[in-house]
Amino acid sequence: MTNLNESREALIAAARTAVNSAYAPYSNFHVGAALLFEDGAIVTGANVENASYGLSLCAETVACAIASHAGRRGALVAVAVLGGPGGRIDAPITPCGRCRQVLNELAALGSTDPVVLCIGAKEVLETRLSVLLPNAFGPAQLG
């Protein structure tokens, strides 16, 4: 069972590294995300844009898809996200609405309420997924 305090710097560093993998030629807004699991594993993602702009995938969604493909179902402890123009980090960014829902699916499978670290150059906004997405619709609603 991992402890966020021990893994916090590694999680943020992983998100910083992930931002270098962003494919964002249209917005030039490069985003990196890192997911921390109860076994201490960290899974990362970066945004993947598309010439058909609306098909672009956010960093958090890519990280969730990679985690799912690796067999991870739940046990999501924390998420770190950062991004900015050309990958330069200034103000913290929060996960978009769609990513909140995608993160909720992974979290709900393990009944966790992950800490969300929104990393800025000087400021870190630390919150919880349940704060970003209250009264979420999830797998439990489907019975």
Is-contact 43 34, C-beta < 8 A? yes
CA distance 32 to 47: 7
Q: How far is the CB of 27 from ligand THU (least distance, A)?
A: 4
Q: Which of 27, 68, 101, 130 binds ligand THU (CB under 6 A)?
A: 27
104 assigned ligand-binding residue: no
Strand partners, 33: 45, 81
| Site for ligand THU, residues 31 to 50, rule: CB under 6 A | 31, 47, 49
Taking CB under 6 A as the rule, does residue 133 contact ligand THU?
Answer: no
Taking CB under 6 A as the rule, does residue 84 contact ligand THU?
Answer: no
Taking CB under 6 A as the rule, does residue 118 contact ligand THU?
Answer: no
Q: How far is the CB of 75 from ligand THU (least distance, A)?
A: 22
Phi, psi of 133 (to 5 degrees): -140, 75
49 assigned ligand-binding residue: yes
64 assigned ligand-binding residue: no
Q: Residue 124: count other Cβ atoms within 10 Å of its Cβ.
A: 14
Which of 57, 77 has the CB closer to ligand THU?
A: 57
Taking CB under 6 A as the rule, does residue 96 contact ligand THU?
Answer: yes
65 assigned ligand-binding residue: no
For 75: left if phi > 0, alpha if psi spans -120 to 50, otherwise beta; the answer is left
DSSP 48: B
